[in-house]
Structure 1
Amino acid sequence: MTKSRLFKVANEAVLHAGQYAFAGRRLRRRDLRRTWITRINSGLTPLGVKYSVFISALKKSNIELDRKILSELATSQPEAFKEVVRSSGLKI
């Protein structure tokens, strides 16, 4: 018999699918954060700044831009990203 014929087997498949979907949403958030950090770091490398130093400088200068926005700036608007790095108090 197949899942289309057996209610119990089909019901268990639906329950497992929900568990996999829940775990997948957690993994997606983790992967997105990793991607943002990689993009920010690739924008900082030509400027000679380390990622950890940059994030620390942002927090000390009370600039509250999240990693998603910073990665968008680093990839689509490098000049604006460079200004953010300068305004954080780091010398380029």
Structure 2
Amino acid sequence: MTRVPRGYIARRRRTKMRSFASNFRGAHLRLNRMITQQVRRAFVSSHRDRGRQKRDFRRLWITRINAATRVYNVFNSYSKLIHNLSKKELILNRKMLAQVAVLNPNNLYTISNKIRTIN
């Protein structure tokens, strides 16, 4: 029986998976079945952790704002600060407030005074 030359599609699929696994170590870099399993697992983890990263950063920002408000007696708590910001319709997101609280707390105090003076 003569040899049948196969196509290139399977090889192209494997090399594509191998390119995703370029930083893996050991068998996860060398064996095709292990490569496909590990790459699939890495994609699942990255998809899951993109959502988790958003949650984690939001929690970090809230913690920083809360700590700064309590230390500098801005409104005595995070919830009161956010409530007054929304009541006065000042558009400052939590990321910006956390940056202000960490880098320049005097500006956070200025923001709280602005909130108190707006009618």
| Matched residue, 2:62 | 37
SS of residue in 2 equivalent to 1:33: helix
Query: TM-score, normalized by length of structure 2?
Result: 0.67
Task: Find the structure with the greater CA-based Rg.
Answer: 2
CA deviations over 1:45-91 (Å, ceiling 9, x no partner): 0305211111010001011000011011111111111011122228x
- Quote the RMSD (CA, aligned, Å): 1.6
Distance apart, 1:8 and its partner CA: 2.5
1:66 aligned to 2:85?
no
| Higher RCO structure (Cα 8 Å, ≥6 apart) | 1
Cα contact 1:61–1:89 (8 A) shared by 2: no
The runs of at least 4 aligned residues of structure 1 exceeding 2 Å deviation read none
The runs of 5 or more residues in structure 2 that have no matched partner are 1-26
Q: Secondary structure at the match of 2:90?
A: coil
Identity, in percent, stands at 27
Please tell me the residue identity of whatever aligns with 1:86: N
Aligned residues: 88
Q: How does 1:7-46 map to 2 (within 5 A)?
A: 7-46=32-71
Q: Which residue in 2 is equivalent to 1:51?
A: 78
The answer to whether the Cα contact below 8 Å between 1:74 and 1:81 also exists between their aligned partners in 2 is yes
Which structure 1 segments of 5+ residues have no match? none
Letter of the structure 1 residue corresponding to residue 37 of structure 2: E
